[in-house]
Amino acid sequence: MQWRFALKYLTSPKSHSVINIIATVSLLAVVVPVAAMVILLSVFNGFESLVRDLYKVVDADIEIATQGGFDINDTAFRESVAGTEGVEAMSFITERQALLSYRDNRVAVRLRGGDEEYQKVVPIEEYTSVGNSVVQLGELDRLMLGEGVAYDLGMYSVAAGDVEVYSLGGGHIGSIMPTFALRNESLDVCGTFVIDQQHATSFALTSLRAANRIFGVEGRADRVLVKVADGAFHSRVAEHLRAELGERFKVTLREEKNEGFYAIMRYEKWAIFFVSLLVLVIASLSIIGTVIMLVIEKQDERQTLLSMGADNIFIRGIFVREGLLISGIGGAIGLVLGVAITLAQQHFGFVKMPNGNFLIENYPVELQVTDLAVIFVVFVVVALGVSLVATSAMIKGDRG
């Protein structure tokens, strides 16, 4: 009954045109912040997904480490990992600091060597910018460079020549002739990749075989990278691996390895959400004025209802619902508008990244149902609170 009265009051012609103007302004004041909340949260989701995709090129789904490293010929270990439910592929890697030299240029990098299964675990080929990502071609070992590393070395073509790779690995560093411990190998460059600024300027990839020779750890590996099968839960696979391998091995998810960074992104996202919420609360205060004007205009109808036996609680409920209807229409329009703009950006990319110095051309967005649900619940609470404040200020007591 109260909803019918509220809808009738909202749709009936107003005797004062100023009430129509105030109601329209109140509705639009709700539309903008609700749409902005949807768009802003979607942008943060897009950037978070972008960062997660970039980390996939360096960090596998799951990483296994142990003190002293791994014997790459340990068949029992391979079978234990490969036989774990949810494991699709695994790769042994060796990763340490090295010095690259080309002509008169020197660059310190983090050099990673991966075995033949490496590209089944880490999709480096998807981010290859020049040449290819095949670092082991039969008996030939090759080198893949980040674009920034190639630039710092002065290599403007993958056919420019070999790169010397130096490492203090495997030897004894003497006080008189420390260079006795220096190992070096000349490797042909097969291609370059681009991920982010950090890895583009400090990361290089070669075969596990070449890395082990350079670092003097033949037959060993520093870590094992694991790819989780599609549809399997990463956390559950990690738990299975921990149970299978025992406490001697440290099993780490990609999210756990970069937990601090992901936490900062989540804090930034919800900080923006609360700022937008504050804007929504302030904008919703205009509904108070609209409800108060409606209460004043419907004074005669109020007296009629009181004479028919209604009490002030019933009448207050009518105008609370009146405020909820105004807020609800504005919120619905805002949600639809925000979703429409987000989907348009997601499919057509009409808003471009500035300066063209990014890995992507368009602003990344990702619409999540959970965000829409949170926005809806918060909006309903705000609208209800504002409507209660407005009606409480004008209609008091239990009876007229």
Q: What is the pLDDT of residues 21-51, one digit of tens each?
A: 777 777 788 888 899 999 999 998 888 888 7
- Is the confidence at residue 205, as pLDDT, over 90? yes
Which run of H or E residues covers position 334? helix 312-348
**51, two tokens:** 């960062």
> How far lies 110's CA from each of 91, 128, 215, 217, 249, in Å?
18, 18, 12, 16, 23
Is 8 in contact with 318 (CB distance < 8 Å)?
Answer: no
Q: CB atoms < 10 A from the CB of 186, how many?
A: 11
Instruction: Name the pairing type of β-strands 128-131 and 105-114.
Output: unpaired
> Locate tokens 């956390």: which residue?
235
Contacts of 386 (CB under 8 A, 6+ apart): 281, 284, 285, 287, 288, 323, 327
What average pLDDT does the segment 156-161 reach?
Answer: 74
- Is the confidence at residue 208, as pLDDT, over 50? yes
- Is the confidence at residue 108, as pLDDT, over 90? yes
Of residues 304, 330, 266, 281, the one with CA closest to residue 51: 266
18 CB-contact burial (10 Å; exposed 0-12 / middle 13-18 / buried 19+): exposed
What average pLDDT does the segment 319-344 reach?
Answer: 85
Distance CA 298, CA 303 (A): 9
- pLDDT score at 114: 94
> How far lies 338's CA from each of 282, 343, 364, 379, in Å?
19, 9, 15, 14
Distance CA 315, CA 400 (A): 10
395 vs 274, which has greater pLDDT? 274
- pLDDT score at 394: 58
Angle at 188 between CA 186 and CA 194, to 5 degrees: 120
**367, two tokens:** 């619409």
21 vs 205, which has greater pLDDT? 205
- pLDDT score at 15: 47
pLDDT band with cut points at 50, 70 and 90 for residue 276: confident
Distance CA 226, CA 60 (A): 6
- pLDDT score at 181: 62
pLDDT band with cut points at 50, 70 and 90 for residue 1: low
**3-state DSSP assignment of residue 28:** helix
Q: In the predicted model, what is the mean pLDDT of the chain?
A: 82
pLDDT band with cut points at 50, 70 and 90 for residue 93: very high
> How far lies 302's CA from each of 173, 287, 312, in Å?
95, 20, 9
194 CB-contact burial (10 Å; exposed 0-12 / middle 13-18 / buried 19+): middle
Q: Which of 84-88, 291-295, 361-365 has the lowest mean pLDDT?
A: 291-295
Is 26 in contact with 390 (CB distance < 8 Å)?
Answer: no
List, as one string, the DSSP characters of 69-125.
EEETT-HHHHHHHHTSTTEEEEEEEEEEEEEEEETTEEEEEEEEEE-TTHHHHS-GG
Length of the chain as a residue count: 400
- pLDDT score at 305: 59
What average pLDDT does the segment 134-159 reach?
Answer: 88
- pLDDT score at 228: 94
**What pTM does this model have?**
0.70
> How far lies 66's CA from each of 223, 238, 246, 251, 338, in Å?
7, 15, 11, 9, 48
- pLDDT score at 172: 46
104 vs 26, which has greater pLDDT? 104
Contacts of 23 (CB under 8 A, 6+ apart): 14, 290, 326
What average pLDDT does the segment 203-213 reach?
Answer: 94
Dihedral angle over CA of 46, 49, 50, 56, nearest 10: 180
What average pLDDT does the segment 308-326 reach?
Answer: 70
Distance CA 97, CA 203 (A): 9
- pLDDT score at 265: 81
Q: CB atoms < 10 A from the CB of 259, how many?
A: 12
pLDDT band with cut points at 50, 70 and 90 for residue 173: very low
Q: Which pLDDT tens digit goes with each residue over 284-298?
A: 777 777 777 776 666
Give alpha helix (H) positions in 164-207. 197-200
- Is the confidence at residue 356, as pLDDT, over 60? no
Distance CA 112, CA 215 (A): 11
With pLDDT > 90 as the criterion, what percentage of the chain qualifies?
36
51 CB-contact burial (10 Å; exposed 0-12 / middle 13-18 / buried 19+): middle
What is the gyration radius of the CA atoms in the chain, in angstroms? 32
279 vs 11, which has greater pLDDT? 279
